[in-house]
Amino acid sequence: MQRPSLTFIHGFMGHPSDWDEVRAALPEFETSALEVRPALDWQSTVAQLAAQILEPSVVIGYSMGARLALGIALEHNQKCAGLVLVSGNPGLETKEAREQRWASDQQVAFQLQRLDEESVSTFLSQWYKADVFATVPAEIRQAEIARKRERFSTDWAKVLQACSVARQPNYWPRLKQLSIPITVVAGELDEKYRSIAVSFASEANSVHVSKKIVPNCGHIVHREQPDVLVQAIRDLGL
């Protein structure tokens, strides 16, 4: 039986090339990396990405990409043979949380709409001071700033408005519908997403779901410890 291909989805302000190192370490698989382009809303973005997957594939996503990968598995399940979700959130569970996050993301989108090639460096430096990146090594954060500065896009604001976690459905109640192999991955030092990974495995309550907590690692697992992520993909047993 032929093993499924691997499809990678980048995080917010990311690019398909973000996955080059991980893809190169998996030569035994056919791989592709999708670009998240502006769409009308969350569902349109999920549908746009799913349409690019021509046969059932293991979908691997980081952060925003992990949320979109989960959306593909639940909304277009025929396209998804498995999932590896890196530092992803299945959704916000209360109206208050969604309203607060939307207000925050709207402020960020307003900033993004006014960026140019000169001001983007200041924005990115502030972005990577957020609590979620606090345990990411400084050299990794600086490398991410440089990568994103090089690939600055005026589409970032539109992608945020369509793909904000505040506009994403709350997928927590639907996790038990999943019957494909799934690994949820988080860095040990990334307290918020480590807790989410543990909760995901508990809520899904399935022999198909496993969690991988990466020692001495923060939020950007595929940058900090790519070899561990590569092994987690292989451990799906495809």
Q: What is the SS3 assignment for 83?
A: strand
Going by C-beta distance under 8 Å and a sequence separation of 6 or more, which residues neighbour residue 7?
31, 32, 33, 34, 53, 57, 58, 59, 60
Q: What is the mean pLDDT of residues 62-78?
A: 97
CB 67, CB 163: distance < 8 Å: yes
Positive/negative CA dihedral, 146, 150, 154, 160: negative
Percent of the chain with pLDDT over 90: 92
Q: What angle do CA 173, 178, 180 make, to 5 degrees?
A: 160
Global confidence as pTM: 0.97
More confident residue, 117 or 22: 22
**pLDDT for residue 211:** 95
Mind listing the pLDDT tens digit for each residue in 158-195?
A: 999 999 999 999 999 999 999 999 999 999 999 999 99
Query: For residue 184, how many C-alpha atoms fall within 13 Å in the half-sphere facing its CB?
Result: 27
Q: What is the mean pLDDT of residues 7-34?
A: 97
Sequence-ordered alpha helix ranges (H) in 151-186 = 156-163
pLDDT-based confidence at residue 118 (cuts at 50, 70, 90)? confident
Residues in a beta bridge with 84: 60, 183
- The residue with tokens 């345990």 is 135
Q: What is the SS3 assignment for 199?
A: helix
- The residue with tokens 């925050």 is 104
Average pLDDT score, the chain = 95
State the CB neighbour count (10 A cutoff) for residue 150: 9
Mind listing the pLDDT tens digit for each residue in 93-104?
A: 999 999 999 999
Where do the CATH 3.40.50.1820 domains begin and end in the chain?
5-93+168-234
Distance CA 15, CA 12 (A): 9
**pLDDT for residue 208:** 87
- From 36, 149, 162, 57, select the one nearest 102 (Cα to Cα): 162
Residues in a beta bridge with 80: 57
**pLDDT for residue 117:** 83
Mind listing the pLDDT tens digit for each residue in 193-208?
A: 999 999 999 998 777 8
Going by C-beta distance under 8 Å and a sequence separation of 6 or more, which residues neighbour residue 217?
187, 188, 189, 190, 224, 225, 228
Q: How deeply is 217 buried, as exposed, middle or buried, from its count of CB atoms within 10 A (0-12, 13-18, 19+)? A: buried
Indicate the fold that domain 5-93+168-234 takes in CATH.
Rossmann fold (3.40.50)
- pLDDT of 27 strictly over 90: yes
**pLDDT for residue 143:** 96
Distance CA 154, CA 139 (A): 26
Distance CA 28, CA 222 (A): 19
